[in-house]
Amino acid sequence: MKVILSLSGGLDSTCLLSRLFKQVEVLPVIFSYGSKHNRYENEAAYMVCKYYDLKPLHIELDQVMVEFRSNLLKTGGEIPEGHYSAPSMSQTVVPARNLIFISILAGLAESNDAQKVALAVHAGDHHIYPDCRPEFVKSADKTVSLATDGKVSLMAPFLMMSKGEVLKEGLVERAPVHLTRTCYKDQLIACGKCGSCVERLEAFQQCGMKDPIDYAEDTK
Amino acid sequence: MKVILSLSGGLDSTCLLSRLFKQVEVLPVIFSYGSKHNRYENEAAYMVCKYYDLKPLHIELDQVMVEFRSNLLKTGGEIPEGHYSAPSMSQTVVPARNLIFISILAGLAESNDAQKVALAVHAGDHHIYPDCRPEFVKSADKTVSLATDGKVSLMAPFLMMSKGEVLKEGLVERAPVHLTRTCYKDQLIACGKCGSCVERLEAFQQCGMKDPIDYAEDTK
């Protein structure tokens, strides 16, 4: 089996890669789309690919998303601080981002004779991001299958797992978590305060392990 | 109501614009994606926008689709000649193209406070293009609605109409069909022989009208 994987350079997709790598042929796809932290997460994604000796495809959507409304993008306002599940985090939603990624991945899968598109969405994403929820993933799977005449479908094995559980599995699979990038801010060193950092730190805490990456401020 | 319309510069989307223009606020979106006939259809789309005094958004996917497999693309083989419904026309399918367009249009709709994404797919598209069939459109509508938390949905009013019926309505609405571009080939003057030209000529024949555009060869 051949699987197309959306690899953001974050914790979740890197953990998913560590699982899939041993089981199937994986073609990682790295998106850039004009988010503030894009160059850092893209770099992380490339380092993860190098770690696994995989050659990724790079899809650039920066210009496509110039007209999109979101504080996650360079064209938007400030990234909010606080917990990942706080209402303020909805400012970081990029409308239909995952749907757009899934659609392009489906086309790439069919073009490259891959049968599956793998997504690392997990339960922590459900609250804020409508296009990460189980009912969306189920509907998108059907839509992708219809669009490709049954040749391509989705897999989202972390859909009902917490980020802590995803990380726990990744650590067992020896995922290179030290190479990953999670922070939403436009700075090299992770801030430790945005919702995305807070959720990552919680996941490491749940696994009883210190996060190996650097933070701008002491995170305990 | 505000509607985002995918305007290819062809007959169908121009006829749809002629209908919508009188009823709602329309934001046309023009895609380029590396097809052989792209610059000609893009030009036509711009002329149609000028005709209606509308300012379109332009979304460029040329680089995104470089890795896609299709004879419709500059990177692919020859465009087949013959009838639009012939098996050889399947070489012109661009994997998940409509799904990708729909996804981007959904994100643009949410970002621009539009409630609907309008598609000009019609019954003649069903045979060849899986992502133009009624079951796909129904599933994509649900997926888009879930992705946007119910803020955006699809409309495809021509879904069960033949191209002849679409044209008939467009002529009543005084659509500027003389500005449209249908031919799939990489040449300024329409070939009259590719499946796309053949289907267009049939539609005009069904309406008892001569196609006002020029053809490279006599088309009767």
CA B160 to chain centre: 15
Quote the minimal CA–CA distance from B192 to chain A in Å: 29
Question: Which pLDDT does position A170 carry in this prediction?
Answer: 97
Share of residues in chain A with pLDDT > 70 (%): 98
Q: Which of A59, A69, A139 sits opposite B142 (nearest CB)?
A: A139
| Nearest residue of chain B to residue A126 (CA atoms) | B147
> In sequence order, which residues have a C-beta less than 8 Å from that of residue A122 and are 6 or more positions away?
A12, A158, A159, A161, A162, A163, A165, A166
Q: CB contact, 8 Å: A61 with chain B?
A: yes
Asked if A99's CB is within 8 angstroms of B106's CB, the reply is: yes
Question: Which pLDDT does position A178 carry in this prediction?
Answer: 97
Share of residues in chain B with pLDDT > 90 (%): 76
Please check whether residue A160 is in contact with residue A134, taking contact to mean a CB–CB distance below 8 angstroms: yes
Question: Which pLDDT does position A14 carry in this prediction?
Answer: 98
Q: Which of A111, A130, A131 sits opposite B68 (nearest CB)?
A: A111
Complex ipTM above 0.90?
A: yes
Asked if B135's CB is within 8 angstroms of A147's CB, the reply is: no
Tell how strand B2-6 and strand B116-118 pair up.
parallel
Distances, alpha carbon B83 to alpha carbons A54, A158, B192, B197, in Å: 43, 46, 11, 9
Q: How many residues does chain B have?
A: 220
pLDDT band at A220 (very low <50, low <70, confident <90, very high): low
Residues of A in contact with B126 (CB under 8 A): none
The whole-angstrom separation of Cα B135 and Cα B151 is 21
Residues of A in contact with B92 (CB under 8 A): none
Instruction: Record the tokens describing residue B161, joined without a space.
Output: 């109409």
Q: Which has more confidence, B85 or B37?
A: B37
Span B149-175, mean pLDDT? 97
Question: Which pLDDT does position A171 carry in this prediction?
Answer: 97
Question: Which pLDDT does position B161 carry in this prediction?
Answer: 97
> Which of A119-128, A156-165, B147-156 bottoms out in mean pLDDT, i.e. has the lowest?
A119-128
pLDDT at B145 over 90: yes
| Nearest residue of chain A to residue B70 (CA atoms) | A111
Share of residues in chain B with pLDDT > 70 (%): 98
Question: Which pLDDT does position B186 carry in this prediction?
Answer: 85
- Domain architecture of chain A: domains with CATH: 2-206 (3.40.50.620)
Residues of A in contact with B115 (CB under 8 A): none
pLDDT at A218 over 80: no
Condensed to tens digits (0 to 9), the pLDDT of residues B93-125 reads 889 999 999 999 999 999 999 999 999 999 988
pTM: predicted TM-score of the whole model, two decimal places: 0.93
Asked if B94's CB is within 8 angstroms of A106's CB, the reply is: no
Q: CB contact, 8 Å: A172 with chain B?
A: no
pLDDT at B37 over 70: yes
Which three-class secondary structure state does DSSP give residue A153?
Answer: strand
> Which of A9-18, A115-124, A211-220 bottoms out in mean pLDDT, i.e. has the lowest?
A211-220
pLDDT at A167 over 90: yes
CA B156 to chain centre: 12
Condensed to tens digits (0 to 9), the pLDDT of residues A145-155 reads 999 999 999 99
The whole-angstrom separation of Cα A128 and Cα A180 is 22
Question: Which pLDDT does position A126 carry in this prediction?
Answer: 85
Q: CB contact, 8 Å: B132 with chain A?
A: no
CA B61 to chain centre: 15
pLDDT at A201 over 90: yes
